Amino acid sequence: MPERLSEALLDLWTPLIILWITLPACVDTAPTTPSQVLTSGSRLELNRLSEEQRILNRSKRGWVWNQMFVLEEFSGPEPILVGRLHTDLDPGSKKIKYILSGDGAGTIFQINDITGDIHAIKRLDREEKAEYTLTAQAVDFETNKPLEPPSEFIIKVQDINDNAPEFLNGPYHATVPEMSILGTSVTNVTATDADDPVYGNSAKLVYSILEGQPYFSIEPETAIIKTALPNMDREAKEEYLVVIQAKDMGGHSGGLSGTTTLTVTLTDVNDNPPKFAQSLYHFSVPEDVVLGTAIGRVKANDQDIGENAQSSYDIIDGDGTALFEITSDAQAQDGIIRLRKPLDFETKKSYTLKVEAANVHVDPRFSGRGPFKDTATVKIVVEDADEPPVFSSPTYLLEVHENAALNSVIGQVTARDPDITSSPIRFSIDRHTDLERQFNINADDGKITLATPLDRELSVWHNITIIATEIRNHSQISRVPVAIKVLDVNDNAPEFASEYEAFLCENGKPGQVIQTVSAMDKDDPKNGHYFLYSLLPEMVNNPNFTIKKNEDNSLSILAKHNGFNRQKQEVYLLPIVISDSGNPPLSSTSTLTIRVCGCSSDGVVQSCNVEAYVLPIGLSMGALIAILACIILLLVIVVLFVTLRRHKNEPLIIKDDEDVRENIIRYDDEGGGEEDTEAFDIATLQNPDGINGFLPHEDLLRESN
């Protein structure tokens, strides 16, 4: 019997723990009620809902088995009831205890362990935490043994409209070109709302402009700001302040709102031409102003800014276009008039220019408004200044012969004072350019005279500077270069181009060219040099050598015979007369030294010294030494003999009373005196060896014809 009673009780108390919760509807008009009960049989109860209830629930959020809802920011005098836990195992005998654990259990959420009521004991903020996960369980009150497995559920914090929209990136700045068409996009702004965007309209934003009309408009949903007026002019107003509002709840009354500011700046476009500040400019300039000096400035103002205001300046007309130029100053945006060529007050006293200013960067959108340029007139007055003297020529070239007489006039320079009140001029030579003081100048008339002799062969050109000074104002001076060319006269006789020494082979052939010589002349005749070569009159019939003039103005010396012998005569001196073609012609005598040498069979010189003949075969060394000693002794006797004869002043060779030393003397008209005379000894000429040429000596005859 007790066993059957136990089974009956078990069948009776075997229901599931039913947790009843009345879930809030999802529509905005259905607030959450505190009579929510969560039971284990709620799924079955949901299935048993009548068709009428289903129709009513179509406009509400569907039931969720494991969720509870609680309004955020609720702050009543008592804790808010979130829901209730209940099990069918509880007959009301208070022997069942409910336990709550999980997020916020005991701190935020509190449960009545007897009734199963769950209360929120703190004000909740959905933006801080949107949901909490908790676990519920029913246990025996006395034994704390679980009566059923634990059940997990979620408490969601239901949003209310407690956050106003915010512009996190404000205030804003934007630019738009001036003269833009209507509806040109400027920028867009974005506001954020911390409320739940999927629940109701708490986060649904609508944008509007509170300040900034009628210049700008805004798209209510996208917040794109556009121009509301066409052709706004930056020159009239450059900056606009726009106040933008974002309102939640779809813009309906009762919603929260936030504002921000947008500063719109109109950027410049080239819609304005340059304009001169005045139509006529006056400038004055001294006539002696330095080239490149700024005469004055003109300025064309432009209401635009930056590169749109840049203008270029040009001189387009006037009587001074060749004398003046205008350049653009990129920094000051004005035109600088400069002097290109010298001014002369005495020639022209004023000039008129027409200048133009034109935009550098033209916007084709506004070209139809007319030319983006302007013109103005510039009058320039030339002022008189005390100018330095002006020479009749910028340079002078003078010529003078090198034999010109001292104090002869070489040439003349002239200068004048260009001023109206002309001042007398004095001339002088800059002695830094004439250190040797070779020239003088007449201070009054500028005639240049020769102070020292000139030699073209020393210097062909002389460059001096002449100074002209105003007598009334010594600070006004001018300088002019004078080049003086020294012209040639025939005052130098020709001579050998170098010191020649010819070599004659003993085994040479008759007619063989011994040496080719050329001449030089320090003078510089206009038609070039042409030389005449000849032998001295007494050497015309020279038995040993002859001469031949070549086409290249040179001379060849030829041997007349063969069989020359070094032992008989080692050296021959051949005087050659060289004449130029000047007027009058000059001549000189140059002596060619011809040395007899031993040569190979092919004519190569091997030795030019006197050599002993081959000694007889078998001559001993002692015999050679004896012969050498005899030769030395003989030489000593000859020297002593000659010395004694000189002490007695007696001639070495006297054949008769008329055979005395005579001098054959020729005088050069331009000679240098005693140095140009050479003597020939009659005794020498009468020497039998003289027929074969001159013996080695230093006699030199210079003849000037």
236 exposed, middle or buried (CB, 10 Å; 0-12, 13-18, 19+)?
exposed
CATH code of the domain covering residue 438:
2.60.40.60
3-state SS class at 293: coil
Residue 28 lies in a domain: yes
* Strand arrangement of the beta sheet that strand 109-111 belongs to: 37-38, 80-85, 117-120, 109-111
Per the listing, tokens 């001196």 go with 573
Asked if 217 and 299 sit in the same domain, the reply is no
Residue reference for tokens 């986060």: 203
Determine, yes or no, domain membership for 206.
Answer: yes
Q: Is the dihedral of CA 293, 298, 301, 302 positive or negative?
A: negative
Q: Between vectors from CA 666 to CA 665 and to CA 672, what angle results, nearest 5°?
A: 105
Q: Are residues 19 and 151 both part of a single domain?
A: yes
Helices (H), 48-172: 51-57
Of the residues 267, 283, 313, the one at which a domain ends: 267
- Confirm if 40 and 90 have CB atoms less than 8 A apart: no
Best CA proximity match to 357, nearest among 338, 373, 370, 377? 373
Looking at the structure, tell me whether residues 367 and 433 fall in a common domain.
no
Report the DSSP beta bridge partners of residue 448. Answer: 411, 441
Residue 460 token pair: 């062909």
> What is the chain's Cα-based Rg?
67
Eight-state DSSP code of residue 694: B
d(CA 107, CA 403): 135
Tell whether 376 and 413 lie within a shared domain. no
Q: For the purposes of burial, counting CB atoms within 10 Å of the CB of 176, is it exposed (0-12), middle (13-18) or buried (19 or more)?
A: buried
Residues of the chain with confidence (pLDDT) below 70: 1-66, 76, 90-94, 367-370, 527, 610-623, 647-705
Residues 10 and 151 placed together within one structural domain of the fold: yes
Residue 321, Cβ neighbours under 10 Å: how many? 14
In 3D, which of 629, 530, 543 has the Cα closest to residue 580? 530
Q: How many residues does the chain have?
A: 705
Identity of the residue numbered 569: Q
Query: Is 639 a member of any domain?
Result: no
Answer whether residue 672 is part of any domain: no
- Residue (of 78, 46, 261) closest to 171 by Cα position: 261
Contact by Cβ (8 Å): 430, 394: no
d(CA 656, CA 654): 6
Residue pair 642/629 in contact (Cβ under 8 Å)? The answer is no
- Whether 293 is covered by a domain: the verdict is yes
> Same domain, yes or no, for 129 and 183?
no
Residue with tokens 């996009």: 185
Choose among 576, 569, 536: nearest CA to 690. 569
Sign of the Cα pseudo-torsion (674, 676, 682, 688, in order): positive
Cα dist from 253 to 199, 201, 208, whole Å: 18, 12, 14
Angle value at C-alpha 169, between 165 and 173, nearest 5 degrees: 120
For residues 505 and 494, what is the distance between their CA atoms, to the nearest angstrom? 29
Domain membership flag for residue 624:
no
Q: How many CB atoms lie within 10 A of CB 211?
A: 14
Indicate if 467 and 364 belong to the same structural domain. Answer: no
In terms of domains, do 17 and 149 share one?
Answer: yes
Residue keyed to tokens 């069989």: 563
Q: What angle do CA 676, 680, 685 make, to 5 degrees?
A: 155
Dihedral-angle region of residue 91 (phi above 0 means left; psi in -120 to 50 means alpha; beta otherwise):
alpha
Number of domains in the chain: 5
Do 510 and 366 share a domain, yes or no? no
Enclosing domain of residue 35: 2-158
Q: Is residue 368 assigned to a domain? A: yes
pLDDT for res 27: 31
Asked whether residue 254 falls in the same domain as residue 298, the answer is no
Question: Mapped to the 3 state alphabet, what secondary structure does 179-223 carry?
Answer: CCCCCCEEEECCCECCCCCCCCCCCCCEEEEEECCCCEEECCCCC
Q: Is 31 left (phi over 0), alpha (psi -120 to 50) or beta?
A: beta
481/405 same-domain check: yes
Domain boundary residue among 204, 237, 267?
267
Q: Are residues 579 and 562 in the same domain?
A: yes
**Would you say residue 367 lies in a domain?**
yes
Domain's final residue, options 158, 190, 218? 158
CA distance 275 to 634: 122
DSSP 428-477: EE-GGG-TT--EEE-TTT-EEEE-S---TTT-SEEEEEEEEEESS-TT-E
pTM > 0.75? no
